[in-house]
């Protein structure tokens, strides 16, 4: 294996769905618990942007959360495999990430937060999951393979940086690159500026008004998802809401990408990116061509919403 190929394989590791499915299911629920803590303590932000998590150099974080006159944050560390709570007055608490039930994780997190005087009450029913088990009663999901948890995070690191590169040319309203714990996907969303028809809702265990708030305006959204159901493998996705006529038939790159009628979005298998000569260029081509299809067919004012160059003087740019 060449140095270049070995480096790429390390940055874009394999993530076979079957091998880590149980860890994924457990970790997904753990992130929901932590995300709900941020949600109940944070001021509302349009499209539910106040609930998300963010990729860090060691895992994912809530970012600072208000609690009275203090703030705190919760961090998943997928290098040392630790869950840490830190408060703005210097308090630190936490516990190891290891095989444990969702109920045990929930109880331990609440105990560690109480030690710091950070009592929080959250809704204990998972969202966007069929037949959910309350967090404090879930002894079913209890797997944690540190190797695969770290691989998942490493993919989020790569996706996060490529999504941020893709985001830079759009000067209209655009979301941060953030992790939505409802479906466990890392996403970035562009807005046309026009209102959208009411979303039909129907997402399992998610109030329809939340979906309608999230999709109150026209979007072109892309992201990374670990997979499930009709897509039993990790994948990148891109969709438009409302979907313009002809979107499903639009030519997109690379050739491995396809339109999923089940999800009404374009899908690019993660392995097609991982195995490409240039994973970054392959992923950027997918993001750009699917956005082109959404914006052109949707008649967005692209001249107003986009720019072609970096606005900084040459002397202030970095290679």
pLDDT at residue 16, rounded to an integer: 97
Per-residue confidence band for 319, with pLDDT thresholds at 50, 70 and 90 = low
Calculate mean pLDDT across residues 155-162. Answer: 98
Joined tokens for residue 284: 């950027």
Average pLDDT, the chain: 95
Calculate mean pLDDT across residues 122-145. Answer: 97
Distance from C-alpha of 195 to C-alpha of 306, rounded to nearest angstrom: 19
The per-residue b/e assignment along 215-247, b for 16 or more CB within 10 angstroms, e otherwise, is: bbbbbbbbbbbbbbeebebbbbbbbbbeebeeb
Helix, strand, coil % (nearest 5) of the chain?
40, 20, 40
pLDDT at residue 5, rounded to an integer: 55
**Domain coordinates in residue numbering, the chain:** 20-137, 150-305
Per-residue confidence band for 314, with pLDDT thresholds at 50, 70 and 90 = low
Distance from C-alpha of 97 to C-alpha of 31, rounded to nearest angstrom: 12
pLDDT at residue 2, rounded to an integer: 47
């Amino acid at each position: 294996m060449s140095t270049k190929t070995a480096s790429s394989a390390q940055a874009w590791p394999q993530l076979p769905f079957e091998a880590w499915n149980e860890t994924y299911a457990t970790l997904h629920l753990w992130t929901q618990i932590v995300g709900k803590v941020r949600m109940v303590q944070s001021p509302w932000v349009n499209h539910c942007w106040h609930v998300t998590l963010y990729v860090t150099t060691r895992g994912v974080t809530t970012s600072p959360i208000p609690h009275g006159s203090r703030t705190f944050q919760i961090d998943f560390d997928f290098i040392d495999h630790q869950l840490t709570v830190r408060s703005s007055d210097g308090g630190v608490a936490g516990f190891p990430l290891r095989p444990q039930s969702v109920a045990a994780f929930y109880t331990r997190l609440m105990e560690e937060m109480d030690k710091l005087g950070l009592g929080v009450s959250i809704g204990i029913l998972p969202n966007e999951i069929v037949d959910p088990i309350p967090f404090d009663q879930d002894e079913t999901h209890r797997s944690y393979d540190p190797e695969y948890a770290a691989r998942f995070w490493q993919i989020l690191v790569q996706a996060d940086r490529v999504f941020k590169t893709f985001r830079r040319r759009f000067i209209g309203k655009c979301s941060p690159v953030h992790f939505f714990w409802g479906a466990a996907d890392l996403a970035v969303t562009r807005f046309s500026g026009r209102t959208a028809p009411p979303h039909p809702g129907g997402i399992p265990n998610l109030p329809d008004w939340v979906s309608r708030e999230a999709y109150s305006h026209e979007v072109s959204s892309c992201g990374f998802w670990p997979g499930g159901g009709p897509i039993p493998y990790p994948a990148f996705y891109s969709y438009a809401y409302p979907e313009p006529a002809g979107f499903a038939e639009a030519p997109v790159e690379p050739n491995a990408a396809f339109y999923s009628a089940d999800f009404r979005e374009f899908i690019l298998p993660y392995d097609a990116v991982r195995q490409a000569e240039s994973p970054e260029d392959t992923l950027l081509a997918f993001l750009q061509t699917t956005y082109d299809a959404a914006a052109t067919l949707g008649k967005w004012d692209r001249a107003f919403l986009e720019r072609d160059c970096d606005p900084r003087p040459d002397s202030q740019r970095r290679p």
